[in-house]
Amino acid sequence: MARLTAARPGPARRWGCAAAAFLLLLLTVQAAQKADLSGDATAATINHSLTLLQRLQELLQHGNASDSVLRVRTAASDEAKVFHTHQLLLGLQSEVFEGLLRNQSVVTLLEPPESAALFDKFIRYLYCGGVSILLHQAIPMHQLASKYRVRALQRGVADYMRSHLASESSQGHVVGWYHYAVRVGDGALQESCLQFLAWNLSAVLGSAEWASVSVELLLLLLERSDLVLHSELELYTAVEGWLGRRQPEAPVAERVLRAIRYPMIAPGQLFRLQAQSAVLARHYGAVRDLLFQAFQFHAASPLHFAKYFDVNCSMFLPRNYLAPGWGSQWVINNPARDDRSTSFQTQLGPSSHDAGKRVTWNALFSPRWLPVSLRPVYSDSVSGALPSVRLEDGRPRLVITPAMSSSDFAGVSFQKTVLVGVRQQGRLFVKHAYSFHQSSDEVPDFLAHADLQKRTSEYLIDNSLHLHIIVKPVYHSLIKAKK
């Protein structure tokens, strides 16, 4: 909302336009000079851009030759912040300001308190093209950039948010950023936040921001099979707490409870939930069939169970559980040096019928595997020359194979997931997750863009590569996991 006050252009306004036009002309001339000298060996660049930026800052700070005034206030106060500005500079950055100031020299702007507190930073960006912000300032700065259609600042703040999802804050911020991205229709930011929440869900479940998760976001997360958390019981406990605090209507609570994958919870734990969970007791009728089905799943052999029930659904597909029975952590020290290998065991399946059965896996890591196109080709030619191949032309390789024959699996197939951990702001987060099926032993495109040769690589923690390998048993080869 803007209140416009008419005023006649005076000498100050004319001088402001002239000064701004001169600065724009100066920048144009400098660019042309640089282009003219680009082919001359004696050419040199004389760069006083920092001085120019300083002059622009002074122009805003002191209001020299100002030809327009912005009065910024909030709904709760009649007091206003006053900015003496220059129409040409504001109009170059914002078509909204260009329209507001076309026939008026004084404009009153009504802003939310968070945006009003940052308006001086926002105006400074319009003059100098740079701004520094903190986590809690990202949304109000993006709102200002959106309202006044400053496209470059919009993109810059959105990029800042996507690159600071793992930054530490007292109350958390990713959930709030996701909800904001939905409101403004920023699909890229929305997907980045959703992926971060899925891969680092255990950290979110124990944080203050879990209580602020909306119904829509909770249901989106519960649909996914790529959630990274300790166990399905951990997820149920967090959902139970969310339902207790939010107290949604019965249809919503029942839809949430039916998204829990009860067959992935051990029978003993299911019995305890039935006896002790107030939320489950309140909505027992809505999930009775799922609980009964889960007990049947644990009691019968998986092959026998599949004869009578449709296991081709996400209910019987494990998520990315970090509990020991589902995989193993692997920390590789100095991963740029030599090939490494390790072995670990996982449970044959989530059914209690297979509780005592284990599968042994072998994992091989190679830091500089060469693809076929770069491998030396031996020839009988006279020259016998071999193509020169540099070690850095290779890329990391990770191969995971079973140490047992397929006949020991009793019809079970496996989906493998490799989590790559990184440290940001002193905390460990999942940077990437690679998933592949039993039909392939090698992780496709594993760390294809990571430079493990550099000790400063973002994929290394104290010069070590932190992996967590998860093996998810699937009782039916045609199961299609929901993302």
Query: Residue 393 has what pLDDT?
Result: 52
Whether 2 contacts 147, CB under 8 Å? no
Run of H or E including 254 = helix 250-257
User: What letter would DSSP give residue 444?
Assistant: T
Please, what's the largest Cα pairwise distance for the chain? 91
Given its phi and psi angles, is residue 460 left (phi above 0), alpha (psi -120 to 50 degrees) or beta? beta
Query: Residue 32 has what pLDDT?
Result: 55
In the sheet that holds 2-5, the strands lie side by side as 2-5, 106-110, 68-73, 81-85
Question: Counting every residue, how long is the chain?
Answer: 483
Q: What is the pLDDT along the chain (483 residues), one digit of tens a residue?
A: 444 343 444 444 444 444 444 455 455 545 555 555 556 667 777 776 777 677 777 767 666 778 899 999 998 888 999 999 888 888 989 999 999 998 898 999 999 999 999 999 999 999 888 899 999 999 999 999 999 999 999 999 999 999 999 887 766 799 999 999 999 999 999 999 999 999 999 989 988 899 999 999 999 999 999 999 999 999 999 999 999 999 999 999 999 999 999 999 999 999 999 999 999 999 999 999 999 999 999 998 887 888 888 887 889 999 999 999 999 999 999 998 888 999 999 998 898 988 888 999 999 999 876 554 544 444 444 444 444 444 445 688 999 998 877 656 666 788 999 999 988 777 789 989 998 876 678 888 898 888 888 878 888 998 999 999 999 988 754 344 444
Run of H or E including 235 = helix 232-246
Amino acid code (one letter) for 106: V
User: What letter would DSSP give residue 39?
Assistant: T
Whether 353 contacts 300, CB under 8 Å? yes
Radius of gyration of the chain (CA): 30
Residues facing residue 110 across a β-bridge: 73
In the chain, domain spans: 2-31+48-134, 174-313, 320-370+393-474
Say yes or no: do domains 2-31+48-134 and 174-313 share a fold. Answer: no
Query: Residue 256 has what pLDDT?
Result: 97
User: pTM of the prediction?
Assistant: 0.80
Concatenated DSSP letters of 112-169: -HHHHHTHHHHHHHHHHS-----GGGHHHHHHHHHHTT-HHHHHHHHHHHHHTTT---
- Paired sense of beta strands 106-110 and 320-321, if any: unpaired
User: Whose CA is closest to 84, among 95, 72, 98?
Assistant: 72
Give CATH for domain 2-31+48-134. 3.30.710.10
Show the tokens assigned to 4: 């416009």
CA distance 204 to 218: 12
User: What letter would DSSP give residue 480?
Assistant: -
CA angle 11, 15, 19 (to 5 degrees): 175
- Paired sense of beta strands 68-73 and 340-347, if any: unpaired
Given its phi and psi angles, is residue 274 left (phi above 0), alpha (psi -120 to 50 degrees) or beta? alpha
> Which CATH topology does 174-313 take?
1.25.40
Whether 376 contacts 417, CB under 8 Å? no
Helix 267-276 with 284-299: angle, nearest 10 deg: 160
Whether 436 contacts 443, CB under 8 Å? yes
Whether 111 contacts 103, CB under 8 Å? no
Run of H or E including 299 = helix 284-299
> Which CATH topology does 320-370+393-474 take?
2.60.210
Concatenated DSSP letters of 53-117: HHHHHHHHHHTTT--EEEEEE-TT-S--EEEEE-HHHHHHH-HHHHHHTSS-SEEEEE--HHHHH
